[in-house]
Amino acid sequence: MGGADHLTSVRMEALENNAFEEDISHPKNEYHPYFIAIPWDDRTRNSKIYVVVLMTAIFVVTMGLVINNLIMHYRGFDSLISKSEYSKVDCNLVKVDTYRFVARLHSVTTKELICVGAVLSSSSVLANELCIRSGSVRLYLGSATDPFCKKGFPVDAIDVIPHEGIVTKALVVLTTYGDLSKCSKPIKLVYASIEAKLQAYVIGRPYRGGRSLSVQLATVITNPDEISIDWHDHFKKKNIICVKDLENCPIRAGDLLVQNERLYGLASTSAYDRAKTKFACFANIKRVYYQIKMLHTRTF
């Protein structure tokens, strides 16, 4: 019996030693090679937290990359559109003193070029009423480098002339106490209709910058059926002059319609979209010829 008990004791000790070695070689927190594949219910609380954090981080990074790519895509797209639109603009530019009868109206506040006007005399300029709606303006004429001219002239008085051929329903005569004759030359006004058979041209504010003027040729429209704009029915046909065959150069409110060095019209609106229409309309100066003449004693 003693020998049997000793053998049983040895065997029990061996089993205990083997169990101890097994516990050391296979700890409970051992890294599992298939960590992600472990069933959710078999995971510990910390393991579940790690999985949630990992999945959240992956989602945030992925969404960040997607949003960044979208932003870069649309920025590039907008840039391409801007460059495309700019490339379509093709204005023939001339120096500001090429046409001495053109006045440049600059904002007193921002110094930016608002629009152009026509010099009527040594003290007055005709412009679209829309040009002064954004605030006070200062008149610049002739050379942009001449010490006397480049300082400009203040507007000391404004006379409003109603005109049904313009969206704002008025033109304005801007008067200054300064002498414009040193920097400009008045344009001729005639009480006559524009010659449809002769080429006319539009002088206006450039697409960019303020040290040049845009010039483009135009053909006078004689057939009313060619004019199909929303606000056309509100005007009498004799109050406006419309032209076609324009170049890829924007027409702005107040741009001058000239023929044979004579003023026949001022652009009635800047809402001219060449993508939809192939023409532009001007307030017919003939309709307000006598009103302008009454403001000045000069013979036109």
Cα distance between residue 201 and residue 215, in whole Å: 7
Query: For residue 26, is it within any domain?
Result: yes
Question: What is the band of 152 on the pLDDT scale with cuts at 50, 70, 90?
Answer: very high
Residue from 117, 199, 187 nearest 158 by CA: 117
Residues 156 and 210 both lie in one domain: yes
Percent of the chain with pLDDT over 90: 44
Which residues, 6+ apart, have CB-to-CB distance to 204 below 8 Å?
115, 116, 213, 214, 215, 249, 250, 251, 252, 254, 255, 256, 267
Residues 17 and 148 both lie in one domain: no
What tens digit of pLDDT does each residue of 14-63 get?
Answer: 444 444 444 444 444 444 555 556 666 666 777 777 777 777 888 888 88
Domain total of the chain: 2
Residues 48 and 141 both lie in one domain: no
DSSP strand E in 108-168: where?
A: 113-119, 124-128, 137-141, 153-154, 157-162
Residues 55 and 108 both lie in one domain: no
CATH of the domain at 101: 2.40.10.10
Return the minimum-mean-pLDDT range out of 38-47, 74-83, 155-164, 187-196. 74-83
Check if the beta carbon of residue 200 is closer than 8 Å to that of residue 219. Answer: yes
Which residues, 6+ apart, have CB-to-CB distance to 12 below 8 Å?
none
Residues 54 and 99 both lie in one domain: no
Residues 73 and 138 both lie in one domain: no
Residues 70 and 118 both lie in one domain: no
Query: For residue 236, is it within any domain?
Result: yes
Question: How long, in residues, is the chain?
Answer: 300
Question: Does 299 have pLDDT greater than 70?
Answer: no
Question: Does 253 have pLDDT greater than 80?
Answer: yes
Query: For residue 279, is it within any domain?
Result: yes
The Cα angle at residue 228 between residues 224 and 229, in degrees rounded to 5: 125
Average pLDDT of the residues of the chain: 79
Residues 247 and 195 both lie in one domain: yes
Residues 8 and 155 both lie in one domain: no
Residue from 187, 198, 190 nearest 261 by CA: 187
Query: For residue 300, is it within any domain?
Result: no
Check if the beta carbon of residue 250 is closer than 8 Å to that of residue 207. Answer: yes
- Helix and strand numbers, DSSP H then E, in the chain: 3, 14
Radius of gyration of the chain (CA): 40
Q: In the listed set 88, 113, 134, which residue is the last one of a domain according to the structure?
A: 88
pTM for this model (two decimals): 0.69
Residues 149 and 221 both lie in one domain: yes
Q: In the listed set 54, 88, 122, which residue is the last one of a domain according to the structure?
A: 88
Residues 134 and 31 both lie in one domain: no
Q: In the listed set 52, 69, 88, which residue is the last one of a domain according to the structure?
A: 88
- Taking the alpha carbons at both ends of the chain, their separation in whole angstroms is 148
- At residue 299, what is the residue type? T
**Average pLDDT for 112-119:** 94
Residue 18: give the domain boundaries: 2-88
pLDDT at 63: 83
- At residue 116, what is the residue type? V
pLDDT at 102: 97
Residues 10 and 66 both lie in one domain: yes
Helix, coil or strand: residue 25: helix
